[in-house]
Amino acid sequence: MEKQLYLKTIKGKGRGVFCTTNLAEGEIIEVCPVMIIPAEEFAALSATAIMDYSFYFNKEENTLSLTMGFGSMYNHRQYPNAVYLLNREARQMVFTAHENIKAHTEICINYGGEYGIDYSKWFIDRNIVPL
């Protein structure tokens, strides 16, 4: 069966990313191209909702990346079942299963980029209850 990702509305969370098939630990879930947002547009973007869907491309340079595909739709979990890695050279974000994930289970990442990081301040700043 071919792997197919889809969005589903989750009560209290909004939309989340799911897959129609089981995913094995280490399996690539999705490779997403990223659009680079230059530093001179950082301040303007920071005042919009798009900022919540962006990743830093280069934090020191204040450049952001907007991840295409489902990349900006994965929800946060402190102990996620998936991880992501930004390939700056290829301008891609690679999402990989951190553990075996059963079909139709929500796929989550840690917004802090590292497994187990408590990223609750990001949610509190936005009046959202973290999961």
Question: pLDDT of 106-129, one tens digit each?
Answer: 999 988 766 666 655 555 555 555
Are 96 and 27 in contact by the 8 Å Cβ rule? The answer is yes
Closest CA to 12 of 102, 125, 123: 123
Q: Which helix (H) or strand (E) segment is 52 a member of?
A: none
The pLDDT of residue 70 is above 90: yes
Fold of 5-124: Beta-clip-like (2.170.270)
**Helix, strand, coil fractions of the chain, as percent rounded to 5:** 15, 40, 45
Are 1 and 58 in contact by the 8 Å Cβ rule? The answer is no
CA dist., res. 53 & res. 43, Å (int): 15
Cα–chain center distance at 112? 10
User: Which segment, 2-11, 20-29, 65-74, is predicted with the most confidence on average?
Assistant: 20-29
Number of residues in the chain: 131
What is the average pLDDT across 57-62?
Answer: 83
